[in-house]
Structure 1
Amino acid sequence: MYWKRLFLILICFFGFNFTVHAQEQSSPILKLDAIADQALQLTKMARYDDAKQLLEYFSDEFTSVTLQEQVFTMDEIRIITVSHHQALQAVKSPSLEKQNKVDAVISFRLVMDALTSQYEPLWTGMREPIMNAFQHMKEAVETGDKENYHELLNYFLAKYNIIQPSLKLDIPVEKLQEIDAKIDYIELNRSNLQKNEQAFAELESDLQKLFDGVEEDETDPSIWWVIISTGGIIISTLSYVGWRKYKGQKEHKKPKKLND
């Protein structure tokens, strides 16, 4: 009987969490995020007409959501609008290479994920290509390989530009401005390798902190509340069951003593 009560309590608890999760899944922001993801998959498959139609459908849904509900700030609306426009123009361009089209839609997809992700955002998955490009670029500077350096710098800038819009949603403005300023400085002085050595050292540290900081903070503090709440319910229930069992055994022994 007591174990049945424990089972019912746990069912109610997890059932509540499931209901909350289902409500979150039906939110308009998650619907927009799903459309962005589908547009990316179509672009990767070179189904540009379908991707175009889906991005246009996103525009209609986004307009409807922003008019009916205040779910986005003005900065978020601006970032979404710009990244969406760039993605749409990319898939519509007949002359743009496939990789450039995919990169534009990835950037848009990462923006939507940054708005919906509660833990580690998708843009952190760009750490390896960005940091690898940076390391090769730094080696080219050290060896004085100008030709290879320019190619690597262009590749690095292309990869960083993919995540830059989503960084605006996840990183403090002042910190992002510092990173962007150093990247702009390196690009402006691309012909002077020696002048960039100090900027490279500072930028490398900033990029490492950028990715490391997100990984350290990926556990939502609310998760600990859930863990503590769950543990508290189970401990309290088990304590109650144990107390009732002890009380029942004690009462069961009393008649024997009286009979003696």
Structure 2
Amino acid sequence: MAELRKSTVLVTGAGGRTGQIAYKKLKERADQYTVRGLVRTQESKIKINGGDDVYIGDITKADTIVPAIEGIDALIILTSAVPKMKPGFDPAKGGRPEFYFEDGGYPEQVDWIGQKNQIDAAKAAGVKHIVLVGSMGGTNPNHPLNSLGNGNILIWKRKAEEYLADSGIPYTIIRAGGLQDKDGGVRELLVGKDDELLKTETKTIPRADVAEVSIQALNFEEAKFKAFDIASKPEGSGTPTKDFKALFSQISARF
């Protein structure tokens, strides 16, 4: 019997906290996937123990990411602008910390231009499926995250999501709740749309579960041409989600 061809998957933002998990999970499934990672610096490559399968490129400079994307079947986009806290904040004095984005790292550059560059390069390379991981809160222009460093991060993320949905490429848009550094695979996952989950008590999710959902989306037709919010019940309440086909089948929203 002919061996099934393994799917080649690129994780961008592989040096980030969620990206690292997705890259590692794919590496552990070497029988199913040939994995690549894209990071911005040599330091990030070393941090994730990357070999020849980890490419260095800057998503805001389109030509630098083409080598990583050529020849892949699927793309998982886990890049995101990251606000930095201004030095000098003293919690003892009260008030709120102030944030800023580094030059070249503004949401407009990373979450809009950078994601658009990835989508364009993937389309040119004939990529068959793009999974884009974003954030809940995008229906509210006045969401507090938009005020961080005056970056309007959710507005730019949403613009990229719209661009992907209009691209013609099969896509899955995953809008995650508040990200937690906790174990994955032990919670019941909840899907929703239009930020409905933000009005509930269950509006957070472990990064490891987001990484798992982004990989599972590659395996099911039920995940294609869909966009959804995702969060989790607290550990110990509900039944840990194992049937991802059933999870994706609950979703009907295309955007």
Give the number of the structure whose alpha-carbon radius of gyration is greater: 1
TM-score by length of 2: 0.28
Structure with the higher fraction of residues in strand conformation: 2
TM-score by length of 1: 0.28
